[in-house]
Structure formats: structure tokens, C-alpha cells
């Protein structure tokens, strides 16, 4: 049998791939959808702000510093900023539900000396300014993001700029600024939150202009340690935007650093041991060092994570993941290489047809680009936290179909001005099932979901899946709920915990039980020694159903689901 050289096989695969995806195209529908955003685009965000099931749009510009609040009315968008309570000036947005009421609230940073603001969503596209009572403040910031850095179920607010601000959500509609005490005060121009070492805690990658980038490792005690140099991600060039995503599907999130006035960008592959490897040239994604921001996503729904990068004066790039060898730039073929100079990008399925649409906030025209012609199958997952924050920001989902596995994370804002839809859009390729989904919730709960249909939008509520046996293992440094039995239970539940050593024999742990609606039905504090412990939980008076057990100690928490019969 004659051997075909590998490079010929790869070339044929790329050609066939280009042919197969030639039907996919982005169409500029800005005017036809009622959107008109003049000026120099600064940021964009997709969010279902009115809770009607479709994505609304926030856009800001730096010329005139205008804000646009577009309500999605199905066949068109309507600007409803007037009377909404939102300001007319903003640089950047972060959307997420800080009070866990099911509606996304909006954090806004502005230019120069103007303080950051926090707006509480009261429904009906109306917002209250709660900045003074929260309080939230901070000037000269470039990026704001929501994150639950201490895994207490309440979203915290991070402002990235010349100086970082970290507002810890105290769970009573107030925040405490703690960047200095947390060791995360040194800032930059952009950031991306991720759990790079898979320890269940959110870490922060900060892109800096003219100084080495920073990687803040979350130590789990409310503080961070900067490890950028030792981890191998201290890109010393002029970084403008950063993003995180798992391009190789190994379950470890990788990093991409977008540079401007520099030789190239950097793709860092997560090696799974606390370090990263620069694989930029090998993967063909160096670009030209003229960038603004970037996002990982599965643009063509083949189950492989692709990479979009925006540039200043050069064309935008859409690097398609071929699964083996270098990526291929298909931006021009898809019609998203222009307009140039996007400071903010927002990907999301605004029309509910399953493919990923795009809004570009650029200095050469602000554009809504609708995606058409995707032939692969898909599933869109919207996560609803119960013990975790209701927005499920920080949750990681593993999706497998047709032998291909990909990972995505619910994001609270990244890059320079990027806020994608928090629904996760997974490609299934030509497979229609079975679809295997595994969710790692911020609470520590790990659940699997099956019997999901392809080409559908699915809501997944924490606690509604099948708890995975052996999801937690005893580790000297991590709190864990190792097991719960009998499950289902009727009168009494036993559960085993691993409690990391703190050198305090009188330490108390907090135990709480929540129903599937998120209501607390039981809570108490109890003393427990370090190491393994077995505790009991009386269930008298609890109605049949699914519940979530949460154990907390200091800044750590862990959870497990169980059923009552």
C-alpha cells in the first residue's frame, strides 16, 4: 500500500474543510435590525436584560462617550436608554447578577476621573444607581469583570486599570474593596479570569502595556500570589487584550495575549502542571502584533475551539482550529475580517437560530454581523446557579458528542471590552447524539446531564443533574464533600468531609442545605477536626425533592447534591 505523506493529508483536509464551510457567512444587518451607533466603538455586551429569553445589547463609544441600550424585539432592536436609569457615558460594561435575583445587573467604568458605577436591574429595562450604597468606585480603569473569586455564591466585581480594584460581595447588597489586602492591586490594560490549575478557585491573568503580564494565583484564603514569570506567561510586550479558552480540549484552559506595536501575539498552552508553553508559531496564530482583543469560541460548531482576534489597522483574524497542526485564518471567507480596530467584541446567538452572531465595537464602524449557513449541529446551554452565583459565572462545562470533547467556561467579561453571551454554544459537528454534558459548578458540585437533544437551547439548573460519584478526593489543601449516603435519603443523611489543616482544633464549619429553587432550608455551624470527618444531617420535615448540601470553612466551600424521598 502506497504511503501518502502527512503534509499532503493535512493540505487535503484543510481544502475539504474550506469547501465544507464555504456556506457559512456573516452578513452586516446593523441598519436592518435598527441599530445605529455612530462614533468610535469602545465596548459591547450581550445579556438578556429584560428576562424575556433573548439577548439584548449594550454598546459604548469613546467619541462623545455615548451609551446605547438596545432591547431585542425579535425582528429589530430598539434603543431604550432614555429613562432606563443608565448613564450616557461609559468605557466598558460587565453584566451579571450580583444579588442573585435572576436579572443581570450592570457595572460601568468610565473615562479618566469619572468613578465606576453599579446599576441594579429592577426589571423592565430599568436600573437603579446603587454605587454609593454598595459602595463601588474607582477611576482610570480599562476593564471590569464579574467573578466569584471566593466561591461564596455571590459575584464580586473586579476593575482592571492602572490600579486594580476588587470589590468583595458581602451578600447583603454591599461590597468591600480589598485589592490591596488580597495582593491583586497591581493592574494593567485587560484581564481574563480562569481556573488555570483546576483547583476550583478563580485565578486572574492581567495584560499590561509595556510591562510583563501578570498571573494571579488564587490561594483560597482570600489572597493571591503573582506567578506570571514562573508560569511562563509574562509576555513583556505591549499587551492590549487577553482571553482564556481550552483550544486543545484537554480540560486545562489556555491563554492568548494580544499585542500592539509588537512583533506578534502569544498563545500559551496550559501544560497542566502550573506552567504554560508558548506554542504560537507552531499553531500559526502569531498575527502581526497589531491587536486589540481576542476571544476563544467554536465558530463553525465542529467541536473544536477556534480563536478570533481583532486588529488596529490590519484585518481581523478568525483562526479555525483544524484539530491537528496550525490553525487556518478564515476571517475573510466568513466576512468578519472587517471593520478593523474593534476595541470590544460580543459573540452570542441574538436571533435564537443556534449559530453565533457578532457585534463589533470598532473605530471604523460599529456593526452587527449575523451568522448564516452553519450546517453542523449544536446545543446552547444556559446555566442557572442555586448554591453557586445565579449567573453561574466561573462554571466549566465539558461537552462530548461524536467522539469530540470540548470545554467552555461561563465568563463575566474579558479582554479590553468583550462581554459575550453567558449561554455556552457548543458545536457537535455532524453528530446528533448522544450528547454527554458534565458541569463543574463554582460551588464544587459536579453533575452530569444526558438525554439532551441536538439543535436546541437548554436551561440547566444546579442540582438537577446526576451527581458524579468520586467527584471529590481527599487533598491536604482543599475542602471537599467526599460522599453522602444513603442517596436518596428519608430521615437522616450521612456525609463525609475532608477539612484541610488550619492548626485550629476549635475551628467551626458551616453546613447549609438549599432546595432546587435556591432557598435555604437548613443551616448550622459545627466543630470538626482537620482531616476526614463523618457527620449526620437530620432531614425531618423536608419535602421530597432534590437538594444541595454545602459545607464552608473560611474562604473555601464544597457541595454535593442529594435526594429526599
Three-state secondary structure string covering 216-250: EEECCCCCEEECHHHHCCCCCCEEEEEEEECCCCC
Per-residue pLDDT, 472: 46
CA-CA-CA-CA torsion sign (489, 512, 122, 458): negative
- β-sheet bridge partners, residue 352: none
Per-residue pLDDT, 470: 43
Q: Which whole-number Å values give the CA distances from 421 to 107, 244, 317, 449, in the listed order?
A: 16, 15, 20, 21
Burial of 483: CB neighbours in 10 Å, binned 0-12, 13-18, 19+? middle
Distance CA(138)–CA(514), nearest Å, equals 35
The 10s digit of each residue's pLDDT in 268-292 is 999 999 999 999 999 999 998 888 9
Asked if the 474-564 domain carries CATH number 2.60.40.1930, the reply is yes
Place of cell 482576534: 309
Q: Tell which wins on pLDDT, 436 or 41.
A: 436
| Residues contacting 7, CB < 8 A, separation 6+ | none
545 falls in which pLDDT band (50, 70, 90)?
Answer: confident
Q: Tell which wins on pLDDT, 486 or 438.
A: 438
- The grid coordinates of residue 184 equal 491583586
Distance CA(493)–CA(484), nearest Å, equals 7
Contact, 431 vs 401, CB < 8 A?
Answer: yes
Per-residue pLDDT, 164: 95
Backbone angles phi, psi at 468, to 5 degrees: -85, 125
The 10s digit of each residue's pLDDT in 149-159 is 999 999 999 99
Burial of 231: CB neighbours in 10 Å, binned 0-12, 13-18, 19+? buried
DSSP string, 276-340: EEE-HHHHT--TTSBEEEEEEE-TTSSSS-EEEEEESSSPPEEEE--SSSS-EE-HHHHT-S-S-
Contact, 445 vs 560, CB < 8 A?
Answer: yes
The 10s digit of each residue's pLDDT in 27-57 is 999 999 999 998 888 999 999 999 999 999 9
Q: Tell which wins on pLDDT, 541 or 315.
A: 315
DSSP string, 28-95: E-TTTTT----S-EEEEEEE-TTSSSS-EEEEEESSS--EEEEEE-SSSEEE--TTSS--S--SEEEE
546 falls in which pLDDT band (50, 70, 90)?
Answer: confident
Q: Which CATH number fits domain 26-363: 3.40.120.10, 1.10.10.10, 3.40.50.620, 2.130.10.10?
A: 2.130.10.10
Per-residue pLDDT, 1: 35
502 falls in which pLDDT band (50, 70, 90)?
Answer: low
475 falls in which pLDDT band (50, 70, 90)?
Answer: low
386 falls in which pLDDT band (50, 70, 90)?
Answer: very high
Amino acid at each position: 500500500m502506497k504511503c501518502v505523506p502527512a503534509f499532503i493529508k493535512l493540505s487535503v483536509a484543510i481544502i475539504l474543510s474550506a469547501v465544507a464551510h464555504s456556506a457559512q457567512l456573516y452578513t452586516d444587518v446593523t441598519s436592518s435590525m435598527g441599530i445605529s451607533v455612530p462614533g468610535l466603538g469602545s465596548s459591547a455586551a450581550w445579556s438578556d436584560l429584560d428576562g424575556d429569553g433573548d439577548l439584548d445589547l449594550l454598546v459604548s463609544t469613546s467619541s462623545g462617550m455615548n451609551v446605547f441600550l438596545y432591547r431585542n424585539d425579535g425582528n429589530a432592536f430598539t434603543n431604550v436608554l432614555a429613562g432606563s436609569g443608565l448613564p450616557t457615558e461609559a468605557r466598558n460594561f460587565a453584566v451579571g447578577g450580583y444579588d442573585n435575583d435572576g436579572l443581570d445587573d450592570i457595572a460601568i467604568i468610565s473615562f479618566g476621573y469619572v468613578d465606576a458605577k453599579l446599576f441594579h436591574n429592577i426589571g423592565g429595562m430599568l436600573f437603579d444607581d446603587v454605587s454609593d450604597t454598595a459602595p463601588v468606585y474607582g477611576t482610570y480603569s480599562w476593564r471590569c469583570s464579574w467573578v466569584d473569586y471566593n466561591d461564596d455564591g455571590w459575584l464580586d466585581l473586579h476593575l482592571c486599570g492602572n490600579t486594580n480594584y476588587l470589590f468583595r460581595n458581602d451578600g447583603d447588597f454591599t461590597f468591600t474593596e480589598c485589592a490591596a489586602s488580597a495582593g491583586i492591586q497591581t493592574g494593567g490594560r485587560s484581564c481574563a479570569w480562569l481556573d488555570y490549575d483546576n483547583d476550583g478557585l478563580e485565578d486572574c491573568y492581567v495584560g499590561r502595556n509595556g510591562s510583563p503580564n501578570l498571573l494571579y494565583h488564587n490561594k483560597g484564603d482570600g489572597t493571591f500570589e503573582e506567578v506570571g514569570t514562573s508560569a511562563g506567561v509574562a509576555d513583556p510586550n505591549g499587551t492590549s487584550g487577553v482571553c482564556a479558552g481550552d483550544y486543545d480540549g484537554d480540560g486545562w484552559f489556555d491563554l492568548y495575549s494580544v499585542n500592539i506595536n509588537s512583533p506578534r501575539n502569544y498563545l500559551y498552552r496550559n501544560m497542566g502542571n502550573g506552567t504554560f508553553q508558548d506554542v504560537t508559531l507552531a499553531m500559526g496564530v502569531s498575527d502581526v502584533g497589531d491587536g486589540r482583543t481576542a476571544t476563544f469560541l467554536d465558530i463553525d460548531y465542529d467541536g473544536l475551539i477556534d480563536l478570533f482576534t481583532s486588529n488596529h489597522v490590519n484585518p481581523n483574524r478568525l483562526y479555525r482550529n483544524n484539530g491537528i497542526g496550525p490553525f487556518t485564518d478564515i476571517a475573510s471567507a466568513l466576512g468578519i475580517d472587517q471593520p478593523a480596530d474593534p476595541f470590544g467584541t460580543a459573540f452570542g446567538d441574538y436571533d435564537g437560530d443556534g449559530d453565533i452572531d457578532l457585534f463589533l465595537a470598532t473605530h471604523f464602524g460599529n456593526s452587527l454581523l449575523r451568522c448564516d449557513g452553519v450546517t453542523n449541529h449544536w446545543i446552547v446551554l444556559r446555566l442557572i446557579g442555586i448554591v453557586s452565583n445565579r449567573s453561574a459565572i466561573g462554571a466549566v462545562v465539558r461537552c462530548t458528542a461524536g467522539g469530540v470533547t470540548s470545554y467552555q467556561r461561563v465568563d463575566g467579561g474579558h479582554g479590553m471590552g468583550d462581554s459575550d453571551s453567558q449561554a455556552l454554544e457548543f458545536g457537535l459537528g455532524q453528530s446528533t447524539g448522544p450528547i454527554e454534558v458534565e458541569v463543574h459548578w463554582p460551588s464544587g458540585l459536579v453533575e452530569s446531564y444526558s438525554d439532551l437533544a441536538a439543535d436546541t437551547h437548554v436551561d440547566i439548573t444546579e442540582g438537577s443533574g446526576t451527581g458524579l460519584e468520586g467527584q471529590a478526593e481527599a487533598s491536604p489543601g482543599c475542602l471537599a464533600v467526599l460522599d453522602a449516603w444513603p442517596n436518596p435519603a428519608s430521615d437522616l443523611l450521612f456525609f463525609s468531609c475532608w477539612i484541610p489543616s488550619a492548626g485550629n482544633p476549635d475551628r467551626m464549619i458551616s453546613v447549609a442545605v438549599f432546595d432546587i429553587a435556591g432557598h435555604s432550608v437548613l443551616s448550622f455551624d459545627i466543630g470538626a477536626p482537620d482531616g476526614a470527618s463523618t457527620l449526620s444531617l437530620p432531614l425531618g420535615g423536608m419535602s421530597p425533592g432534590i437538594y444541595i448540601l454545602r459545607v464552608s470553612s473560611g474562604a473555601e466551600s464544597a457541595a454535593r447534591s442529594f435526594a429526599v424521598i
